[in-house]
Amino acid sequence: MSTATLEATTDAAAANTTSTEPMSDDPTLRPFTVTFIIRRFDPDTGDEPKWQDFDVEMYATDRVLDALHKIKWEQDGSLTFRRSCAHGVCGSDAMRINGRNRLACKTLIKDLDISKPIYVEAIKGLPLEKDLVVDMEPFFASYREVQPFLVANSAPATPGKERIQSAAQRERFDDTTKCILCAACTSSCPVFWTDGQYFGPAAIVNAHRFIFDSRDDNAAVRLDILNDKEGVWRCRTTFNCTDACPRGIQVTKAIAEVKQAILRGKA
């Protein structure tokens, strides 16, 4: 490349011929075939889920979601999956990619081993509806149960309507504000797979977000809800949730903090 730059200063024509060469050598600009093996389920036939292979031409900079789009648009329109924003914010496309819960829109092809097929299947522990789509209702039901909203019944500490919060007080629960409710954590939890009654990591993370918020008045109520047989004590610290979180939330740490708050009786 440095010789090409040198030549460019002396001979524009020569530079033209040499600079086109590295362009085509750049592996990121060349498509290659990637095999996807997707676990399909059709509720209309009621057959057991089946694995189906798809060969897709991909660039290294493409994401798994791009592959799903290509399959749906160009090969098999019946492939069913959820996605909305496609940029890792809405939390619609959590799925199991090569055995781990990931967002399809945040998983780049170059980060996967494409010498082997890429396995894609729905997240575990929630009722399978079709292909990669699961029923999220049990997940949102436990989310609602922890009262994931600000409860501020008391008058503000300072005169006026504002509830002043210091930077340190905000920092206390900053990590758990990042949750996008994609269910990657909850459906990676071995306890949740076998015990659907367990609140699951996501509900506890969202309880944590308000329990440790200095403006909130209902920490005791939430701690009481989670101090349950199916609450935080079901956590077996397998750290699958921390590994699965696409936002990098230290989920197991948040659960541990809620456990400690219950033990000590205060947030």
What is the binding site for another protein (CB under 8 A)?
A: 30-33, 37, 39, 48-59, 70-71, 74-76, 96, 98-100, 119, 121, 124, 188, 190, 236-240, 242-243, 250, 252-253, 256, 259
User: Whose structure tokens read 């929630």?
Assistant: 126
Q: Which is nearer to another protein, 68 or 179 (CB)?
A: 68
The neighbour count for residue 145, using CB atoms within 10 Å, is 16
Q: Which is nearer to another protein, 32 or 149 (CB)?
A: 32
Q: Which is nearer to another protein, 149 or 239 (CB)?
A: 239
Nearest to 36 by CA among 128, 134, 133, 131: 131
Count CA atoms closer than 13 A to 136's CA, side-chain side.
Answer: 17
Tell me how far, at minimum, the Cβ of 99 lies from another protein, in Å. Answer: 4
* 3-state secondary structure at position 192: helix
Contact 147, 210 (CB under 8 A): yes
Q: Which is nearer to another protein, 49 or 148 (CB)?
A: 49
β-bridge partners, 100? 97
Tell me how far, at minimum, the Cβ of 176 lies from another protein, in Å. Answer: 14
Can you read off the two tokens belonging to residue 48? Answer: 């057991």
The neighbour count for residue 53, using CB atoms within 10 Å, is 9
User: How many angstroms separate the most distant Cα atoms in the chain?
Assistant: 77
Q: Which is nearer to another protein, 31 or 156 (CB)?
A: 31
Q: Which is nearer to another protein, 33 or 166 (CB)?
A: 33
| 183 φψ region: left (φ > 0), alpha (ψ -120 to 50), beta (else) | left
Q: Which is nearer to another protein, 40 or 216 (CB)?
A: 40
Tell me how far, at minimum, the Cβ of 141 lies from another protein, in Å. Answer: 23
Question: 147-168 as b/e, with b when 16 or more CB fall inside 10 Å?
Answer: bbeeeeeeeeeeeeeebeeeee
Q: Which is nearer to another protein, 82 or 102 (CB)?
A: 102
Tell me how far, at minimum, the Cβ of 152 lies from another protein, in Å. Answer: 29
Tell me how far, at minimum, the Cβ of 239 lies from another protein, in Å. Answer: 3
With a CB cutoff of 8 Å and minimum separation 6, the contacts of 44 are none
Tell me how far, at minimum, the Cβ of 53 lies from another protein, in Å. Answer: 5
* The residue type at 110: K
Tell me how far, at minimum, the Cβ of 218 lies from another protein, in Å. Answer: 25
DSSP structure class, residue 70 = H
Tell me how far, at minimum, the Cβ of 12 lies from another protein, in Å. Answer: 28
Can you read off the two tokens belonging to residue 230? Answer: 């199916």
